[in-house]
Amino acid sequence: MNIKKEEDEGIKSLVKLGSEITGPALGAVIGGMLGGPGGAAIGGASGPLLTKEIIEIGNDIAERFLSDREKIRIGGVIIYAYDKIRKKWAAGEKLRDDGFFEQPSIGHPACAEIPIIERPPAEEVIEGILLAVQREHEENKLPFVGNLLANIFFDSEIDKTQIDLLIKFAQRISFRQMCILSFMCLRLRPQSLPKSLSIDMWIKCFT
């Protein structure tokens, strides 16, 4: 019995369903990569860790009670994100190396009397974004959210607190607003727009 193959059925089923949004060709490519050896498409020390975390979170979410439409949205974001990740890697970009994919040491936060064993920040972010799109009725937003999930893995300047705010921001604004922001930032900047953190953050996270 191939236990590894059975363990990965969850992520593969999500990707298969997600291809209803992204198209079957892209879904098949990403499904093959995530169903193959860990980190097959992404190199470096953190590549296998990143792929492993996406697979594990995907498998876990696939076992939860979700409607088919919710699974389609989650699978779609996984496809968009992993496609962006592999393209950035192929273009020579490197994954962040600030411990984002590794389990932190046991901490003693001021608000707790007992030690807390934290998950790797990447795991929390992957789960947070996938759950955020679970109930997202504007499915046109999914490519933007996929970009967010992918881009944060390459930029160590975006910390966990900022990421949590960006996830909430993506939930709050509409697809039309996302399109307007993208047009303004990519087409008009820098001459017609004042340089600000929000513009820079949008460009490096959502495009």
pLDDT in tens, 43-98: 565 677 788 889 889 989 989 889 999 999 999 999 999 999 989 988 999 999 88
Distance between CA atoms of 57 and 78, rounded to whole angstroms?
A: 11
**pLDDT the model gives residue 45:** 59
Residue 99 has pLDDT above 90, yes or no: no
Q: Which of 181, 199, 198 is nearest to 190 (CA)?
A: 199
Residue 173 has pLDDT above 80, yes or no: yes
**pLDDT the model gives residue 7:** 56
Average pLDDT over residues 129-139: 94
User: Tokens 């979700």 — which residue?
Assistant: 66
What residue type is 22 in one-letter code? T
Distance between CA atoms of 166 and 168, rounded to whole angstroms?
A: 5
**pLDDT the model gives residue 185:** 72
Residue 2 has pLDDT above 50, yes or no: no
Are the C-beta atoms of residues 37 and 53 closer than 8 Å to each other?
Answer: no
**pLDDT the model gives residue 115:** 66
pTM: 0.85
3-state secondary structure of 99: coil
Residue 112 has pLDDT above 70, yes or no: no
- The angle formed by the CA atoms of residues 86, 92 and 93, to the nearest 5 degrees, is 75
**pLDDT the model gives residue 39:** 44
Q: Which of 188, 170, 181 is nearest to 203 (CA)?
A: 181
**pLDDT the model gives residue 67:** 93
**How many Cα atoms within 13 Å fall on the side-chain side of residue 168?**
6
